[in-house]
Amino acid sequence: MKRIILAIIIIGILLVGCIQTNQQDQQNQQNMQYPKVENFIVFNSKDEMKKYLQSSSSSPFWFEFGGGVVRGDVVLDVAYPQAVPKSGYELYEEKSLPERVSETNIQVAGVDEPDIVKTDGINIYFSQVRYFYLFWEKTIPNGGKTKIIKAFPPEDLDVKYEIKKGGQLLLLNKTLIILNHDTIYGYDVSDKPVKMWDIELNGSLVTARLYNDKIYLITRSTIDYYEPCPIKPLTYNGESLQIACKQIYHPIYPIPVDVAYNVIVLDPKTGDVVKAVSFVGSSGLSVVYMSKNAIYITFPYREDVVKIYYNFMKENEDLFPKEVLERVEKLKEYDISNRAKYVEMQVIIDQYANSLSKDNRLKFRNELWNRLSKYYEERKREIEKTGIVKMSLNLDVVANGEVPGRILNQFSIDECNDYLRIATTVGMTDTTNDLYVLDGKLNIIGSIKDYGKGERIYAVRFLMDKAYVVTFKQTDPLFVMDLSDPKNPEMKGELEIPGYSSYLHPIDENTIIGIGKEGKDVKISLFDVSNPEKPVEIDKYWLNEYWSDILNTHHAFLIDEKHKIFFLPASKGGYVFSYEDNKLKLVKAVNVPALRAIYIDDYLYIIGNKVVVLDENSWEKVNEIDLV
């Protein structure tokens, strides 16, 4: 039976929990002058950037950082807009306003994330899109349409307007932002939707956040190795936004590079660029986490493969004749790229192997593979790392650091009281998992290593002074770890549970919902974690569904604490579960292929190819409309 590891880590150094800074603190941070980060320097010329790219091209991953917004050859100094927005409700009569409106399920309270459904409590904005999948990550949707649906009061349910563009949505008052994979649109939706602006991306959109009336975009641009700069991440009003060579930063050590990541702040009302920075990294591998204090961008990389092979050969001289070692030693002095050196090293080793008899060649190759595997296993934390860059909300580089291993997604990272917590998987075949605590300068101050050996992380959730980590393998211990002393973490408890959870949602500090799979079915678990030494799966429910969109995105999950229910969308229908009295109970099933749900007052709106409205007091259907 397939099982999971759910690791609960008590981070005792944060006894008072994560206290959000107030507006004055955030304003002070924006005005703060940060010291220069010594590990990042600018390119002095295009030739210098080309040389850096050449030296970085052999590594599997890489990163670079850029700052300064340029149109043509002029660097733009731009300031954040100071206008105070009006409430989104001011356009409606006060008597018609609902008292309760759900929000998108997000990671950090107040930092909004794009999704296919948004609501202002009166209207529902729903983008019917086609999704594309890359490995385990859902990419930004492409195509489709966006419907504006009159939702409240429910008896007036109707499609009001349709926009011929689709994508993920952000909503600020009566400004609707549609984020497609290659274009961003801004619409005034105070009445009939009117397009105010659009931006063409010269690349693709990675993610976005909406905070303090600003949009933070992260885009990805392909690197031209012959003309690497200026970087041109977008086109607006017929002009290319350009970032010149001397405004592009990079780490002092070479790491793998094939794309540029651009962090761009936009005014949502006008589409104007407020500020931007760029960095280079590996396509499809960087993860973005944004708190109310900072933006963290990660980039995975490996130690220089030539250096790894060379050190291995020096430690295993009995495998190679003297002339092979001398040729490899001389190779280090060649003024060629690391990729070329790696190819030459392989040629040298292959030439030696081919000079052997068939029997000796077979023995050599097996011995080489065996020793290389052991060498990597002993040094995997030195070889495979995740670099981290911390930026202020003004896009100043504040700190940089690194941890061993690779991270799963944004939930693998969490900031709390100026500490950063990050969970990683280390290794490719013989995997293990670590959790690290870093200080404000991104220095590691504490860690828990080697839990879930032979597995990889499937889900992570940080909650105040605790962390919950799910790993997947054939057995299923639930690890409980205490980090009261960050330098001496201690294992506290263990539990075995079947299946795996790929999304964890805290109900309160003692209870967590886990949604994942067991065998072919979607499984829902209810965990009591009040006693770290004895975590308990107090209830579980197997749903006769193969898949739920919650397994792809946390945005598909909805919880209504007033009615003690949560919503789970699936291919056959939408399901409403009660968690009252620590029991999982299916209270309502609606035969609609569901994608999302929201609540307005005491009405639950299930959204898919229809919108079905349920009265949460009786669970009777109130209204419905077709969207096909």
pLDDT digit string, tens, across residues 237-268: 889 999 888 877 777 777 777 888 889 999 99
Per the model's pLDDT, the better-predicted residue between 350 and 7 turns out to be 350
Q: How many CA atoms lie within 13 A of 133 on its CB side?
A: 6
Residue among 531, 491, 497 nearest 514 (CA)? 497
Residue 62 is predicted with a pLDDT of 31
Residue 7 has pLDDT above 60, yes or no: no
Band (37; pLDDT cuts 50, 70, 90): low
Rounded Cα distance, 380 and 384, in Å: 6
Share of the chain above pLDDT 90, in %: 53
Contact 615, 113 (CB under 8 A): no
Residue 100 has pLDDT above 50, yes or no: yes
Residue 58 Rama label (left phi>0; alpha psi -120 to 50; beta): alpha
Residue among 122, 125, 85, 86 nearest 104 (CA)? 125
- Tokens representing 57 are 């091209």
Residue 78 has pLDDT above 80, yes or no: no
Rounded Cα distance, 252 and 43, in Å: 11
- Tokens representing 276 are 């931007």
**DSSP-based three-state secondary structure for 95:** helix
Per the model's pLDDT, the better-predicted residue between 502 and 602 turns out to be 602
Rounded Cα distance, 180 and 167, in Å: 5
Residue 35 is predicted with a pLDDT of 53
Residue among 527, 450, 440 nearest 489 (CA)? 450
Band (497; pLDDT cuts 50, 70, 90): confident
Q: What is the pLDDT of residues 149-163, one digit of tens each?
A: 999 999 999 999 999
Residues 6+ apart with CB under 8 A from 329: 310
**DSSP-based three-state secondary structure for 526:** strand
Residue 383 is predicted with a pLDDT of 87
Radius of gyration of the chain (CA): 26
Residue 489 is predicted with a pLDDT of 67
- Tokens representing 201 are 């991306």
Average pLDDT over residues 29-48: 68
Identify the top-confidence range among 90-104, 251-265, 318-332.
318-332
Residue 283 is predicted with a pLDDT of 73
Contact 266, 272 (CB under 8 A): yes
**168-172 and 511-518 as β-strands: parallel, antiparallel, unpaired?**
unpaired
Average pLDDT over residues 194-208: 93
> Which DSSP category does 258 fall into?
S
Per the model's pLDDT, the better-predicted residue between 570 and 43 turns out to be 570
The pTM (predicted TM-score) of the whole model is: 0.85
**DSSP-based three-state secondary structure for 402:** strand
Residue among 452, 400, 397, 399 nearest 423 (CA)? 452
Residue among 210, 142, 149 nearest 182 (CA)? 142
Rounded Cα distance, 498 and 500, in Å: 7
**231-236 and 259-266 as β-strands: parallel, antiparallel, unpaired?**
unpaired
Scanning the structure block, which residue is given the tokens 């598909």?
556
Average pLDDT over residues 364-386: 91
Strand order in the sheet with 574-578: 558-560, 565-569, 574-578, 585-590
**480-482 and 3-10 as β-strands: parallel, antiparallel, unpaired?**
parallel
Band (415; pLDDT cuts 50, 70, 90): very high
- Residue spans of alpha helices (H) in 182-270: none
Rounded Cα distance, 468 and 502, in Å: 11
Compute the CA torsion angle 224, 227, 231, 233 (nearest 10 deg).
Answer: -50
Residue 492 is predicted with a pLDDT of 72
> Which DSSP category does 180 fall into?
-
Residue 66 has pLDDT above 50, yes or no: no
Band (86; pLDDT cuts 50, 70, 90): very low
Residue 338 is predicted with a pLDDT of 72
Residue among 213, 184, 214 nearest 200 (CA)? 184
Per the model's pLDDT, the better-predicted residue between 52 and 580 turns out to be 580
Band (490; pLDDT cuts 50, 70, 90): low
Range from 80-84, 175-179, 514-518 carrying the lowest mean pLDDT? 80-84
Residue 68 has pLDDT above 50, yes or no: no
Asked, as a colleague might, if the bond just before 85 is cis with ω within 30 of 0, I would say no
Identify the top-confidence range among 5-9, 45-49, 56-60, 127-131.
45-49
Adjacent-strand bridge partners of 150: 123, 158
Compute the CA torsion angle 433, 436, 442, 444 (nearest 10 deg).
Answer: -110
Mean pLDDT of all residues in the chain? 83
**DSSP-based three-state secondary structure for 554:** helix
What count of other Cβ atoms lies within 10 Å of the Cβ of residue 252? 9
Residue 31 is predicted with a pLDDT of 53
Residue 21 has pLDDT above 50, yes or no: no
Residue among 530, 527, 532 nearest 582 (CA)? 527
Residue among 371, 364, 369, 325 nearest 348 (CA)? 325
Residue 528 is predicted with a pLDDT of 92
Residue among 381, 376, 374, 365 nearest 434 (CA)? 381
Residue 596 is predicted with a pLDDT of 97
Rounded Cα distance, 266 and 218, in Å: 11
Angle subtended by helix axes 322-331 and 305-315, to nearest 10: 150
Band (474; pLDDT cuts 50, 70, 90): low
Q: Which helix (H) or strand (E) holds 158?
A: strand 158-163
Residue 348 is predicted with a pLDDT of 92
- Residue-range domain boundaries for the chain: 35-81+98-302, 306-381
Per the model's pLDDT, the better-predicted residue between 338 and 583 turns out to be 583
Residue 354 has pLDDT above 50, yes or no: yes
Q: Which helix (H) or strand (E) holds 469?
A: strand 466-473
Backbone angles phi, psi at 94, to 5 degrees: -60, -35
Rounded Cα distance, 75 and 554, in Å: 39
Residue 600 is predicted with a pLDDT of 98
Rounded Cα distance, 23 and 205, in Å: 29
Band (568; pLDDT cuts 50, 70, 90): very high
What count of other Cβ atoms lies within 10 Å of the Cβ of residue 563? 17
Residues 6+ apart with CB under 8 A from 82: none
Range from 299-313, 398-412, 428-442, 587-601 carrying the lowest mean pLDDT? 299-313
Residue 20 has pLDDT above 60, yes or no: no
Q: What is the pLDDT of residues 272-303, one digit of tens each?
A: 999 988 887 777 677 899 999 999 988 887 77
Residue 521 has pLDDT above 80, yes or no: yes
